[in-house]
């Protein structure tokens, strides 16, 4: 075996590989960062940055059930002993991602939110090898790798069941395994000869929609789902809490908030439930505050996203929430199409 005198890597089988290692991969011979990659916007409010990671800000209007709050504190305490995995599972738009960010905010920890659906390439997850004329090849860590290696970090695997990339899944499988907690990642191994190791105090939180583990291109293995020993099921908050959330966050009056929530609940609680997300309701409430008719507020947010069959069902359910005046207004409307120039 040949040994690199610069970095100490000692399992290079031939002189030729040693030369190649020194020329292209040796971390000690490479200038680590040529230019820091730009910080990726993750879209949540932050209190501070730790390196390229962000500490999320708590949302004072986020409502949480007492038992869930107590469970979160237990998981946080367990994470101080050894890295933990927590799954947050539930229907569409119940506040799963928001809960994950609240947990990170409660810990005050540097956080990385990886969107499993949009983040597809291995490079985005595990970093990449870069070539620079002066230093040759070197390893550029991804934000995910930076988070995994940061003590006390929270790593959110958002919409985890929509993970597309099988090789990324394999790497995550090892990082999430209590007994392993390290993964052999090609670009990192080439450059440093070391695996990626989960730092102390790291909390992985995966969110996924119930049932949607079948909608990704690659089904998540039972194996990987089984890695999550801590699980929180998130239903929609109770109706009165939803009303309170809508009023606090949008300023909508209580009467209108109640009507929006009643509409949503009437669809969620049928034989074939239709998921109406909190996001959709909040947006409809904002539009009512802007003066929109309740029909338009819901039609251009929640209802238009449904299949035509379900749209008919939703509009029928909405009838039950109209005031007499609103009902007349809808009944007497005739659609008018005009050129934009006359508006």
Ligand X SMILES: Nc1ncnc2c1ncn2[C@@H]1O[C@H](COP(=O)(O)OP(=O)(O)OP(=O)(O)O)[C@@H](O)[C@H]1O
Residue ranges that bind Mg ion, judged by CB under 5 A: 96-97
For the CB of residue 128, give the shortest distance to ligand X in the complex, in Å: 28
How far is C-alpha 114 from the geometric centre of its chain's CA atoms?
Answer: 6
Please report where in the chains the tokens 């947990």 appear, as a residue. 103
User: Which of 98, 145, 147, 258 forms a contact with ligand X (CB under 6 A)?
Assistant: 98
Instruction: Write each residue from 48 to 67 as x if it is in contact with ligand X (CB under 6 A), else as -, in one continuous string.
Output: -----------x-xxx----
Asked if 111 and 53 touch (Cβ cutoff 8 Å), the reply is yes
Q: Does residue 225 bind ligand X (CB under 6 A)?
A: no
Looking at beta carbons only, is 89 or 183 nearer to Mg ion? 89
Closest distance of CB 226 from ligand X, Å:
22
DSSP single-letter state for residue 216: S
Cβ distance 118 to 159 under 8 Å? no
Instruction: Give which of 149, 50, 47, 148 is closest to 101, Cα–Cα.
Output: 47
Judged by beta carbon distances under 5 to 8 A according to partner kind, the member of Mg ion, ligand X, none in contact with residue 105 is: none
Q: CA 48 to CA 81: how far, in whole Å?
A: 25
Which residue is closest to ligand X by CB?
Answer: 95
- Closest approach, Cβ 79 to ligand X, in A, equals 21
Closest CB to ligand X among 95 and 110?
Answer: 95
Residues 267-306 that bind ligand X (CB under 6 A): 277-279, 282
For residue 239, give Cα distances in angstroms to 152, 186, 294: 36, 50, 18
d(CA 261, CA 134): 61
In the complex, which residues of this chain contact ligand X (CB under 6 A)? Answer: 59, 61-63, 92-98, 159, 207, 209, 237, 245, 277-279, 282
């Amino acid at each position: 075996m040949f040994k690199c005198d610069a970095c100490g890597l000692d399992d290079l089988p031939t002189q030729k590989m040693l030369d190649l290692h020194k020329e292209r991969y040796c971390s000690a011979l490479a200038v680590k960062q040529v230019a820091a990659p730009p910080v990726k916007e993750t879209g949540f409010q932050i209190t501070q940055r730790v390196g390229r990671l962000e500490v999320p800000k708590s949302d004072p209007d986020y409502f949480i059930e007492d038992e869930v709050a107590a469970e979160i504190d237990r998981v946080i305490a367990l994470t101080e002993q050894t890295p933990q995995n927590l799954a947050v599972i539930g229907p569409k738009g119940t506040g799963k991602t928001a809960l994950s960010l609240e947990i990170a905010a409660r810990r005050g920890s540097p956080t990385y939110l990886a969107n499993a659906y949009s983040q597809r390439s291995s490079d985005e997850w595990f970093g990449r090898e870069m070539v620079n004329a002066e230093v040759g090849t070197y390893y550029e860590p991804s934000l995910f790798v930076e988070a995994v290696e940061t003590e006390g970090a929270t790593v959110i695997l958002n919409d985890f069941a929509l993970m597309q990339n099988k090789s990324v899944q394999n790497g995550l499988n090892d990082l999430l395994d209590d007994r392993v907690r390290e993964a052999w990642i090609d670009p990192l191994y080439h450059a440093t000869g070391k695996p990626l190791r989960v730092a102390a105090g790291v909390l992985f939180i995966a969110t996924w929609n119930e049932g949607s583990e079948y909608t990704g291109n690659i089904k998540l293995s039972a194996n990987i789902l089984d890695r999550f020993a801590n699980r929180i099921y998130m239903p929609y908050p109770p109706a009165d809490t939803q009303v309170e959330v809508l009023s606090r966050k949008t300023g909508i009056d209580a009467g209108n908030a109640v009507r929006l929530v009643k509409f949503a609940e009437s669809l969620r609680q049928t034989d074939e439930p239709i998921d109406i997300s909190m996001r959709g309701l909040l947006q409809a409430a904002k539009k009512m505050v802007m003066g929109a008719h309740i029909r338009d507020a819901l039609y251009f947010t929640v209802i238009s996203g449904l299949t035509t069959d379900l749209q008919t069902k939703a509009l029928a359910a909405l009838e039950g929430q109209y005031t007499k005046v609103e009902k007349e207004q809808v009944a007497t409307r005739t659609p008018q199409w005009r050129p934009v120039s006359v508006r």
